Amino acid sequence: MKIISTLKGIKKIGLAYSGGLDTSAVIKWVSSLGIKVFAFYADLGQSNKDGIRKLKNNAINYGASKFFSIDCKLDLIREGFIALKSRAFNFITGCTKYYNTTPLGRIVTSVSLTKKMINSGIKIWCDGSTYKGNDIERFFRYSCILNQNLNYYKPWLDSKFINKFGGRKQMSEFVGLNDTKNKYSIDSNILGNTYEGCGIESLTFDLSGIDFIYCGDIKSIPLRSKVIKFTFVKGDILMVNNSFISLYCLFKYLNKLCGSYNLGISDQIEERITSIKSRGIYESPTMHLLHNVYDRAISCIYKNDTIKYYNISGLNLAERLYEGKWFEDLCHLIKLNGVYLCNRINGVIKVKITPSSCIIFLKTQLSESIYIKDLVSMERTVVGFKGKDRVGCLNVVFNSIQSIKNRMKKRML
């Protein structure tokens, strides 16, 4: 394995092609040097068939020798559900979260494209990641696991490439795109969308100026509420509104529906792998709704000590997911634990989404729920403990206070 910073002597490379400005410029520049570029595109649900056909034509026109499109949608959704079941979300501001949709996308992109590159005889991996970002390390980690004989050419580590293209303006002119008016860059997949860079780097940028892919104009919202019923079997969603549904159709349906209610938008200041603080604006409508639904189920089925362990483990897993360590031993253990806990989710959860983007739980009916209404009721019931039972509990509390009461009393005064 070698990190290549120059194209001297290179005859062929495999490019992880997104269709964006950076990778388009890479194709045109590298091919102009007489080097064959094989473009590998990961279909993560970010485009339809016509869009992929257009991307293929663009890649060929820019100089790619071959174009491969690899369908990764179901693989990505499966990883998304593992993240949901394991609560692998660590960037939280107030009540909003980032659902790690880009790190999850990098997993299946790296794995699927590396496998395809191996089958295509590619020995040099190339992508458009910059040295300041996270993806340069994520792509490297995952692809290196599958093929340690793979070498890496990173254009943004090549002084010749950097000298020719100082930024978006130069690359736009080079490939003939009018891209300089964009206020931000977008990374998209079926789990969610990331908006960052350019204008967003300023902390005075107002996110209402973003043209969200799923949520659209956030100033426009539906006037009526929407009710959704989920039927679970062993932690998996089997039906929505009493109809069987595939994982792909589930995400397509909920992204459109929940996006119209502006669910899952968050504005996060995060710390990159390199310890640099950065800003990202995210939208993950389906992930947001399902996260709330899974949390509801977990809170009904398990005791607080289990939930505490579950939450802490999720944070640990999320940090490693963000860093590109999804397949390490500890991560494997936490994921198994999350899936195991969610296997007890059997039953129905019905929610209502209001025009104010509020999720209201209308019904929670789970076969293994330990929530018992009569136990907590303030009305007279035939089950549960009585008042005299609580007196005994308070006497035990009194005894526990005696040994350190003087120290605690001083702190009160």
SS (H, E, C) 71-134: ECHHHHHHHHHHHHHHCCCCEEECCEEECCHHHHHHHHHHHHHHHHHHHCCCCEEECCCCCCCC
Q: Could you tell me which of 302, 334, 338 has the C-alpha nearest to residue 316?
A: 334
| The two structure tokens encoding residue 258 | 């929940």
Rounded-to-integer distance, Cα 53 and Cα 97, Å: 34
Q: ∠ CA(80), CA(83), CA(88), 5° rounding?
A: 140
Adjacency order of strands within the sheet including 359-366: 243-244, 236-240, 226-233, 347-353, 359-366
Closest CA to 113 of 67, 157, 149: 67
Contact 289, 192 (CB under 8 A): no
Distance separating alpha carbons of residues 140 and 379, to the nearest angstrom: 61
Per-residue confidence in pLDDT tens, the chain, 413 aa:
888 888 888 999 999 999 988 999 999 999 999 999 999 999 999 999 999 999 999 999 999 999 999 999 999 999 999 999 999 999 999 889 999 999 999 999 999 999 999 999 999 999 999 888 899 999 999 999 999 899 999 998 888 988 888 777 888 888 887 665 667 889 999 999 999 988 899 999 999 889 999 998 887 888 899 999 999 999 999 999 999 999 999 999 999 999 999 999 999 999 999 999 999 999 999 999 999 999 999 999 999 999 999 999 999 999 999 999 999 999 999 999 999 999 999 999 999 999 999 999 999 999 999 998 888 777 777 677 788 888 888 999 999 999 888 889 888 98
CB 260 within 8 A of CB 216: yes
CA distance 102 to 382: 52
For residue 161, which of 22, 356, 311, 321 has the smallest C-alpha distance? Answer: 22
What would the two tokens of residue 188 be? 């998209």
DSSP 16-55: E--SSHHHHHHHHHHHHTT-EEEEEEEE-SSS-HHHHHHH
Q: Scanning the structure block, which residue is given the tokens 């509420």?
A: 225
User: How wide is the angle at C-alpha 405 spanned by C-alphas 399 and 408, nearest 5°?
Assistant: 140
**Token digits of residue 327:** 């397949």
Distance from C-alpha of 191 to C-alpha of 56, rounded to nearest angstrom: 23
Going by the DSSP 8-state scheme, the letter that residue 351 receives in this structure is E
Alpha-carbon gap, residue 353 to 286, rounded angstroms: 12
* pTM of the complete model: 0.92
Write down the pLDDT at residue 50. 95
43 vs 45: CA distance, rounded Å = 6
Largest Cα span, the chain: 88
CB 156 within 8 A of CB 131: yes
So what's the pLDDT on residue 6? Answer: 83
Residue 375 is predicted with a pLDDT of 80
DSSP 198: G
